[in-house]
Structure 1
């Protein structure tokens, strides 16, 4: 009855980076069958990196299996975030949250492509990523890749699932520590 079968495509995730000639942008494609994301692929042409995952089949970067980091101490964690492009109307624009988390982590990054940020969680380059006010096409493929690499993907309250308006992806080991700061 209420089944959704569709391709979810972001032809350029990180449009601003792309338009400025920067390298951190990607092409993101996910397949949703019966209201569940079952395939995800993210390609970063400037980096020549290709990430993919299929539900219950693991995650891969350039054909090699990947997994999230083993970092269990938030104080030693590298985290990534982003800020909504249109944020003047937001009462919560992520700056206060960023400040709280930055005080408790060793490194913070803002790359500009949510799909790639989720892939960086998947292959252990960063230990967590959060952002808000995104669209499903920004996160569908990357979220599946992060999950299939052993990560957790929730909203800011810890509810499991893919929530574009509030997405938190972690290696699972620092999940409860960072969730407290959300």
Structure 2
């Protein structure tokens, strides 16, 4: 940069236009090269981004490690609870079996007494007449015919038994009334 400034100053002192323009252009070219070099450093230098990436990767790895540890703890807690439930189930089954055995023993001890009492009760009920079948016969069913069928039924009965026509007609009137 100082060289181009010197050329421009020499051109001014010597009244040489070519030297002044050449020194200025050389200065512009040098400053453009310095600017481009600085821009390249800004665009190509990724130290800060690499540090951010490394930090994010480390945080993700730490999160993953915590997740795996939590998953292991959760799995172990589940296994412990399953073992506890299996133990409680076995204890409950033993209690139920013991209670069943006690009830079976108690029933067997009272079985003969229960059989005797039930037989005595049955005999008492039989002797009292409470176990006998009812002696009354069921009432005879009456057939209700539709209005059109009443006339056909009366004709059929009249043909079969002409002497019973009057009795049948009276019975048909009773059945036909609501």
- Select the structure with the greater relative contact order (CA < 8 A; seq sep ≥ 6): 1
**Which structure features the higher share of strand residues?**
1
**Which structure features the higher share of helix residues?**
2
- After TM superposition, the score normalised by the length of structure 1 is 0.10
- After TM superposition, the score normalised by the length of structure 2 is 0.10
Q: Which has the larger radius of gyration?
A: 2
